[in-house]
Chains A and B, each alone.
Chain A
Amino acid sequence: MIEKLNLTNEQEKIIKKVGEIGAENATIALSKLTGREVTLKVTDAQAISMEEIPNIIEMVEDTIFSAYTPILGILSGSMMILTPRTSGYMLIDMLNGNPPNTTKYLDRMGESALEETQNIIGNAYLNAMNDFMGTMLIPAVPRVASIYKNDVNALIRSRIKTSTDYVVTIKTDFTIENVTGIFILLLAMESLDPMMKALTERIGGGIMKFNRREVKK
């Protein structure tokens, strides 16, 4: 059982909304980048202990590629895609227009293709959040690492500054033909207040009204 933190209705609503609109934007962007049909599905949107993150990431291979980007702006967070090594190679071939099974190791051009994928998906989320909340969040330059799946936790801890052990986690699974991967948006718990404030300023408490309407149903 995943250890999670109870959030208020408003906080939960915002996190889910960010996931929904981000995935919608990212679907369009990733499809345009690869020229293929893509499926993105938000499979987790909650505040969980960082220790639990490996438990929500189901990777079929021990070695995974990670492309990560810190978020700059009023929120403290990080975004990353994680993909099993085999899927990573297939994605690199797809993006470079190579025949399947061309890529056998991760070279600089392959890293760059994965960084660009992270850049495109991450920005689709940030653009959606900026539109939704009226914020000005931008990504830093993305980086790629090849890691063992057991090291995901250490990677995440090194990429996010937070005073608690919990992080807001929005996990989206993506599929492009045989390529599978995960996009994770992680926000420090301290980011919830600026998010609520930005939203309140943006829509004058509209989210609260939205919640009340839902409760009546």
Chain B
Amino acid sequence: MAKKVLIVDDSAFMRKLLRDIIETRNYKVVGEAGDGSKALKLYIQLKPDIVTMDIILPNKTGIEIVKEINKVDKDNNTKIVMVTALGQRQLVMEALQAGAKEYITKPFEKDRILEVLKRLE
């Protein structure tokens, strides 16, 4: 069965790009969110296996959303991958400490996305 993926990114262009890459393999993009509130709502509703999470989003950051996900769903098995243009070491550490499993810097190679998703299975 295809793994369910939720894409969180404020850029419609980036969401489409990620969707096109992700769906070339055995994954199903079940939802897309452009801001934090919608991301959390869709997460609860869809229970995805994997979430790709941007950091700079309207209203709240992707790292804050990761923390909220862990708060509302303590036993979750969802793997969160940060996908962001920000490359500061401090942010990478913060995201990983918050519960993200991987950190990908934009712009990315298509293979990098697929390689990380495979590793998380």
Contact in complex: B11, A140 (CB < 8 Å): no
Tell me, in angstroms, the Cα distance from A122 to B85 when the chains sit together. Answer: 9
A-facing residues in B1-36 (Cβ within 8 Å): 10-14, 16
Docked-complex contact B56 and A115, CB < 8 angstroms: no
Decide: A116 near B109, CB < 8 A? Known: A123-B86, A136-B88, A139-B56: no
Contacts of A136 in B (CB 8 A): 88, 90
Contact with A along B83-121 (1 / 0, CB 8 A): 001111010000000000000001111000000000000
Give, as a whole number of angstroms, the nearest-CB distance from B11 to chain A. 5
Does the CB pair B56–A29 fall under 8 Å?
Answer: no
CB <8 Å contact, B13 and A120: no
Once the chains bind, are A141 and B12 in contact (CB under 8 Å)?
A: no
Interface size class of A (residues with CB under 8 A): 20 to 34
How far apart are the CA atoms of A56 and B104 in the complex, in Å?
36
**Distance (whole angstroms) from the CB of B94 to the closest CB of chain A:** 11
Given contacts A130-B88, A141-B56, contact A33 B12 (CB under 8 A): no
Query: Provided the pairs A136-B90, A138-B56 are in contact, do residues A112 and B106 lie with their beta carbons within 8 angstroms?
Result: no
Known: A120-B106, A123-B85, A130-B88. Is A112-B56 also a contact (CB below 8 A)?
A: no
A33-B107, A108-B12 are known contacts. Are A127 and B56 too (CB-CB below 8 A)? no
Interface check A95, CB cutoff 8 A: yes
Cβ–Cβ < 8 Å partners of A96 in chain B: 13
Q: Is B57 an interface residue (CB 8 A)?
A: yes
Asked whether B56 lies within 8 Å of A32 as measured between CB atoms, the reply is no
Q: Please tell me if A188 contacts chain B, counting CB pairs below 8 Å.
A: no
Interface string of B74-90 (1 = CB under 8 A from A): 00000000000111101
Chain A, Cβ-Cβ closest to B108: A32
Given contacts A29-B107, A140-B56, contact A119 B85 (CB under 8 A): yes
- Interface check A113, CB cutoff 8 A: yes
CB closest chain-B residue, reference A110:
B13
CA distance A95 to B13 in the complex (A): 9
Whole-angstrom distance between the alpha carbons of A153 and B12 in the complex?
29
Pair B13/A115 contact, Cβ less than 8 Å? yes
Q: Provided the pairs A139-B56, A140-B56 are in contact, do residues A112 and B12 lie with their beta carbons within 8 angstroms? A: yes
Contact B88–A119 (Cβ < 8 Å): no
Q: A154 near B: Cβ within 8 Å?
A: no
| Residues on A with beta carbons closer than 8 Å to the beta carbon of B56 | 119, 138-141
**Complex contacts, A30 vs chain B, CB 8 Å:** 107
Task: List chain A positions with a Cβ less than 8 A from chain B.
Answer: 29-30, 32-33, 95-96, 108-109, 112-113, 115-116, 119-120, 122-124, 126-127, 130, 136, 138-141
